[in-house]
A and B are shown apart, each in its own frame.
Chain A
Amino acid sequence: MTSSRNVASPQTVAQKILARASGNDAVAPNQIVEVTPDFCYSHDYAVFAIDAFAQMGATDVVAPERLAICLDHGFPVNTARDANNHMRVRDFARKQKFRAFFEGGTGIAHQVMLEKGLVIPGALVLASDSHTPSGGAVGALAIGIGETELAFVWAFGRTWLKVPETIRVTLSGALPQGIQAKDATLSLVKRLGVLGGAYKAIEYHGPGASALTVSERFTFCNMSAEIGAKCSMFPHDAVTEAFVRGRAQFAYEPVHADAGAIYCEEIALDLAQIEPMVVLPGREDRGVPVSEAAGRKIDQVFIGSCTNARADDLALAARILKGRHVHPQVRLLVVPASRQVEIDAARSGDLAVLLEAGAILMPSGCAVCAGTHQGVLGDGEVCLSTSNRNMPGRMGNNKAEIMLCSPATAAASAVTGVVTDAREFLE
C-alpha cells in the first residue's frame, strides 16, 4: 500500500509525521499511506472496540505500551448496563496490559492524555473520539478514528490514512481583556463553516500563536473538529517545551514545517480584533458578536468540556463571579476538565468562589456536552455552554436549544440570566 519515494519538495508538519509513521522519506497530499501510530487512546466507547476486537477473532493487542483508556463519557454511571460496560473496559485494559487506565473522575481523556505526558510533540496519535485533534496543542498529529477502527489498530498496530492538505492560519496581535481563545476559535468556525476544513490539517503560526498558552492552544485545536479538520497543530516552541519537559512519558522529537511547504489555503487572524462570540442555536458556525445575542434568556449555564474547563477558564469565571451570585432562574453547572484542574482550582481558591456564587460542581468528565449523562435540558430550555457543539438534540433533547460561548461570557450570563458581555464585569 505504501511506497518509499524521494520527494524533494518541502513538507508540512502533517506530511512529515505521516511520512515517518508510514516508513516513507516523504509523502504527498491525497496519497494513502499505511501508518503505525505512536499512541492510541479511548474512553467509555472502548467497549465497542472490545466487541469488534473479539468479532475479528483477535486475542492480543499489538504494542499495549502505546495504548490507554480514560473513562469520561458517563461516570459515575446511571444504569447497570453502563456499569457492566465499564467493568468490561477495566477488565480488558488490565488483561491486555495497557500502559494506562484512568478511572472515571480522572478527567476528560483529551485533557488527561496531555497532563500525563502520553500525547507528546511530533507523535502520531489516534483515538476514538472526534475531539482528538486537541493533542495538536503540544504539536502531536492527533486524529480521530471510529471504534471498530480502533479495534483494528489494537489487533494489527496499523491502519490507513489519507495524507491531508494543510491550511496555514497566521495569528497576529493579542487577545484583549475578557476575550478568550474560545472567541477567536468561534470566529474561525463561523468564517470557515462546519466542513470548511474537511479532510485537511491546520497549522497555526505567527506571533499571536506563540503568545498563547497550552490551554488556549488546546481550545483552538479542539474545535478544529467543528470545521471538519483531520488534525490541527501549534508549532513546537518554548511554551510547548515548558509544558512537556519532565512530563512526557516517551522520547519526543519536535516537528517543524519546512520553509516553502505547500499550503492549500492561508488565513490571517488578528487576535486584537476578536470580539466575544456567541454561537446561536443549531450549528457551530452560527457565531455572532455577543452584542447581537445579548439579552437572550437562558436556563442553564455549562462551564465544562474538553474545550474550556481548564484552570485558566475557571479562574476567569471566578473573577467574574466573585462577590456575585448566579441568577435565581439559572443553574450553573461547573465541570472541571480533569481532577488536576479541580485540585488547582481548589488550591487557588477559584473553586470556593464559584461555589459561593451558587455553582453546582459535577464530577470531572464530559458531563452535559453529549446529552447522555446529567444536565439534560427540558423542552424549550436554553443552555449557554462553553462546550463545542450545539446541533439540535446534542444535549439529549431536540426541543431544547444550545448556545456556545467562552467561560467569561458564560459566567457573566449566569449572573444576569441573559446573554451578557463579560467585559461589563471586568472593568
Chain B
Amino acid sequence: MEAEIIAGSVTVLGDFISADAVLPARYSFLAPADMVQHVLTEVSMEANAGVRTRTIIVAGEAFGYGTGRESPARALRAAGVRAIVGGPFSRMFFRNAINNGVLVIDCPELAACGVADGEQLQIDPTGGVIRWKDRTFRTMPAPEIIRRIIASGSLIEYGRALLQADRGASGS
C-alpha cells in the first residue's frame, strides 16, 4: 500500500500560527465534526472558510508550534485538509497531523515563493515532489512509516490493520 498523489487547491496561512490558534484548548473535547466551525477562527474567518473548502494548506514558519494537543490536527482533518506544506513545523504538530492522516511536508521555499489562495498544488509523498504552476520542488521523500500511516488513512486505521494481521498470524 502506497500513499497516493494529493492534488488540490490551497489555503495560504502566515507565520507563527500556534496550535493553540489552530484550535484553542477549550474546544478540545468537541466531536471532530463540531470542531470544524472553530478551526483557525482565532486567525480569521477567511482562514476557517479556506480550510473547509480547500484540501491543502501552504503554511508559514513554525505552523502548529506550541501545545502538543492533538485536537488542532484532528480539527484540520475534520475540515477536509489532506496535506500541509511549508513550515518548518514543530515536531508534535507534525506527528499529530500525520497520525490523523494529514500529510505534512517541510518545504519553506514553497511558502516563500508567492503561492496564492485557491491555486493548485500536486504532491507526490513517495518521491517528495511538489508541483505548483510550472515549478517543481524537491523535498525529502516521506519515510516509509509515514507513507504507510497516510496510506492507511490514519494511525488508528494503521493500528487496526496491524492488530488484525497479528491476530490472523496467531490463529485466534
A contact residues vs B (CB 8 Å cutoff): 1, 32, 45, 48, 52, 55-58, 81-82, 85, 128-130, 132, 144-149, 151-152, 155-156, 160, 162, 194-195, 198-199, 225, 228, 230, 283, 370-372, 389, 391-394, 396, 398
**Which residue in B68, B88, B89 is a CB contact (below 8 Å) of A128?**
B68
Report B42-96 residues with CB < 8 Å from chain A CB.
42, 61-62, 65-71, 73, 88-92, 95-96
Question: Are A199 and B91 interface neighbours, CB within 8 A?
Answer: yes
**Which residue in A45, A56, A162 is a CB contact (below 8 Å) of B159?**
A56
**Which residue in A48, A146, A389 is a CB contact (below 8 Å) of B92?**
A146
22 contacts between A and B (CB under 8 A): A52-B155, A57-B164, A132-B68, A145-B68, A145-B92, A146-B92, A148-B96, A148-B156, A151-B156, A152-B155, A156-B159, A195-B61, A195-B90, A198-B89, A228-B90, A370-B25, A371-B26, A391-B66, A392-B18, A393-B20, A393-B24, A398-B42
Bound-state CA distance A195–B164 (Å) is 39
Chain A residues near B100: list those with CB within 8 A: 148
Q: Which 10 A-B pairs have the closest CB atoms?
A: A130-B68, A56-B159, A146-B70, A146-B96, A391-B18, A372-B25, A144-B68, A147-B70, A148-B99, A370-B25
Contact A389 B96, CB 8 Å, known A52-B156, A228-B90, A228-B91: no
Bound-state CA distance A393–B23 (Å) is 10
Report B110-147 residues with CB < 8 Å from chain A CB.
143-145
With an 8 Å Cβ cutoff, the count of chain B residues facing the other chain is 40
Q: Does B163 contact A (CB under 8 A)?
A: yes
User: What distance in Å separates the Cβ of A6 from its nearest Cβ neighbour in chain B?
Assistant: 23
Chain B residues near A199: list those with CB within 8 A: 91
Question: Are B90 and A198 interface neighbours, CB within 8 A?
Answer: yes
Question: Are A391 and B99 interface neighbours, CB within 8 A?
Answer: no
Chain A residues near B70: list those with CB within 8 A: 45, 48, 128, 146-148
Report B13-57 residues with CB < 8 Å from chain A CB.
16, 18, 20-21, 24-26, 28-29, 42
Chain B residues near A391: list those with CB within 8 A: 18, 20-21, 66
Q: A45-B28, A148-B70 are in contact. List 10 more A-B contacts (CB 8 A).
A: A57-B163, A58-B159, A149-B95, A149-B96, A149-B155, A156-B159, A194-B62, A195-B90, A371-B26, A398-B42
Bound-state CA distance A199–B70 (Å) is 18
Bound-state CA distance A58–B162 (Å) is 10
Question: Are A155 and B24 interface neighbours, CB within 8 A?
Answer: no
Chain B residues near A228: list those with CB within 8 A: 62, 65, 90-91
Chain A residues near B162: list those with CB within 8 A: 156
User: What distance in Å separates the Cβ of A72 from its nearest Cβ neighbour in chain B?
Assistant: 13
> Which residue, of B42, B90, B91, has the highest number of chain A Cβ atoms within 10 A?
B91
Bound-state CA distance A107–B131 (Å) is 50
**Which residue in B69, B95, B160 is a CB contact (below 8 Å) of A57?**
B160
Question: Are A155 and B65 interface neighbours, CB within 8 A?
Answer: no
**Which residue in B21, B66, B90, B155 is a CB contact (below 8 Å) of A148?**
B155
Chain A residues near B9: list those with CB within 8 A: none
Q: Does B11 contact A (CB under 8 A)?
A: no
**Which residue in B26, B88, B159 is a CB contact (below 8 Å) of A372?**
B26
User: What distance in Å separates the Cβ of B151 from its nearest Cβ neighbour in chain A?
Assistant: 15
Contact A85 B29, CB 8 Å, known A195-B88, A228-B65, A398-B42: yes
User: What distance in Å separates the Cβ of B94 from its nearest Cβ neighbour in chain A?
Assistant: 9
